């Protein structure tokens, strides 16, 4: 990929790491960030200034087709990560998820068709599978819309597939399982646990403890995107990024408690519980396909990834409010 690449959602958690990784690997990168009156580039404002200075910024709104088309001009590859992702927020504001996740993806696909973009990577989520009907979950697993968020991501995925089949748009659907690491929102389980522990709390407030998740360290996820983009064999495919291992939320919490404050105990906070039929009880992803079609291999064990995350959160605890429940 000699031409410029575009990352939508570049100001967010995974997007900022992907953008930074691309620059480090020598790519010319344009970062599509959410327009705001504060002139903020999100997490990209916190990276090494030398790397930031190499990025071309485009402030816009993924819901606006004109701005999306303008951003995508002269870009050979689009990594489309812009999305609303918080599941609890989707329960009471589903319209905004349709506008951002479905219509935003449609805007990218329409622009890619018009501009004849060489590669489009649409970001999915393991949530589209819902509770595992079998494990490991491969790309042929049925879809289950167990939240408005997951329903909109299913819709976006199927739109992406339709553009590949109808117009031969070179689309790949990239499906990361749960990603964690530095810069993650406080609404996610790992920063929720760690920030409460680092703030000195002996009562760690959590939701359900029995669900399991397949956890990717964020740099492994970023490298997965790049490996998929660099393989022509991935065009028209849906591809998991997964470790093919799982851990329950209770065991994860106990692992972190043991590392940071062994005296702490877990307390159930009912606000953090999903509706019973909406909870995804088990996610364990298959990674045979990504290994077969690319040269990707996960580089970080969960122990290493958690240590890096704890260290970063310790240095950035002031950016979080551990006493609040974040939607």
Domains delineated in the chain: 4-179+216-241 (3.40.50.720), 181-213+246-280+300-319 (3.90.25.10)
State the CB neighbour count (10 A cutoff) for residue 61.
18
Structure tokens at 283: 């996610």
d(CA 169, CA 61): 22
Contact 259, 303 (CB under 8 A): no
> Mind listing the pLDDT tens digit for each residue in 91-116?
999 999 999 999 999 999 999 999 99
For position 324, what pLDDT does the model report? 80
Contact 87, 127 (CB under 8 A): yes
Section 114-132 average pLDDT: 98
For position 2, what pLDDT does the model report? 56
304 Cβ neighbours under 8 A, 6+ residues apart: 217
> Mind listing the pLDDT tens digit for each residue in 130-157?
999 999 999 999 999 999 999 999 999 9
**Long-range pairs for 255-259 at CB < 8 Å and ≥24 separation?**
255/306, 256/190, 256/193, 256/194, 256/197, 256/306, 256/310, 257/193, 257/197, 257/204, 259/306, 259/310
Question: Residue 7: is its pLDDT beyond 70?
Answer: yes
Contact 184, 13 (CB under 8 A): yes
Percent of the chain with pLDDT over 70: 99
d(CA 114, CA 125): 26
For the chain, what's the residue count? 327
For position 1, what pLDDT does the model report? 45
> Mind listing the pLDDT tens digit for each residue in 225-249?
999 999 999 999 999 999 999 999 9
> Mind listing the pLDDT tens digit for each residue in 276-325?
999 999 999 999 999 999 999 999 999 999 999 999 999 999 999 987 88
Contact 72, 113 (CB under 8 A): no
d(CA 93, CA 280): 20
Count CA atoms closer than 13 A to 147's CA, side-chain side: 27
Count CA atoms closer than 13 A to 186's CA, side-chain side: 16
Contact 294, 228 (CB under 8 A): yes
Question: Residue 327: is its pLDDT beyond 80?
Answer: no
The one-character DSSP state at 46 is G
pLDDT mean across residues, the chain? 96
d(CA 45, CA 200): 29
Question: Residue 56: is its pLDDT beyond 50?
Answer: yes
Q: Does an H or E element contain 260, and which?
A: helix 249-260
């Amino acid at each position: 990929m000699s031409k410029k690449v575009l990352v939508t959602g570049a100001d967010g958690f995974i997007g900022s790491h992907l953008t930074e990784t691309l620059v480090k690997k020598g790519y010319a990168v344009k970062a599509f960030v959410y327009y705001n009156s504060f002139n903020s580039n999100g997490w990209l404002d916190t990276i090494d200034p030398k790397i930031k200075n190499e990025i071309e910024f485009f402030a816009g709104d993924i819901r606006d087709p004109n701005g999306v088309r303008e951003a995508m001009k002269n870009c050979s590859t689009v990594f489309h990560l812009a999305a609303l992702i918080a599941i609890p927020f989707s329960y009471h504001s589903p319209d905004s998820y349709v506008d951002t996740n479905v219509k935003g993806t449609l805007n990218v696909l329409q622009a890619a068709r018009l501009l004849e973009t060489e590669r489009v990577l649409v970001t999915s989520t393991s949530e589209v599978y819902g509770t595992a009907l079998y494990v490991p979950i491969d790309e042929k697993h049925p879809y289950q819309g167990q939240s408005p968020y997951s329903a909109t991501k299913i819709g976006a995925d199927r739109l992406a597939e339709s553009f590949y089949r109808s117009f031969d748009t070179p689309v790949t659907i990239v499906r990361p399982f749960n990603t964690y690491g530095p810069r993650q929102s406080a609404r996610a389980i790992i920063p929720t646990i760690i920030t409460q522990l680092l703030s000195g709390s002996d009562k760690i407030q959590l939701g359900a403890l029995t669900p399991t998740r397949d956890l990717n360290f964020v740099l492994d996820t970023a490298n997965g995107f790049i490996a998929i983009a660099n393989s022509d064999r991935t065009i028209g495919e849906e591809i998991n990024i997964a470790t093919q291992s799982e851990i329950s939320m209770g065991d994860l919490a106990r692992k972190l408690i043991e590392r940071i404050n062994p005296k702490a105990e877990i307390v159930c906070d009912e606000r953090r519980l999903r509706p019973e039929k909406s909870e995804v009880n088990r996610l364990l992803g298959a990674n045979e396909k990504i290994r077969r079609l690319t040269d990707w291999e996960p580089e970080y064990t969960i122990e290493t990834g958690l240590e890096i995350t704890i260290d970063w959160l310790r240095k950035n605890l002031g950016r979080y409010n551990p006493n609040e429940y974040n939607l």
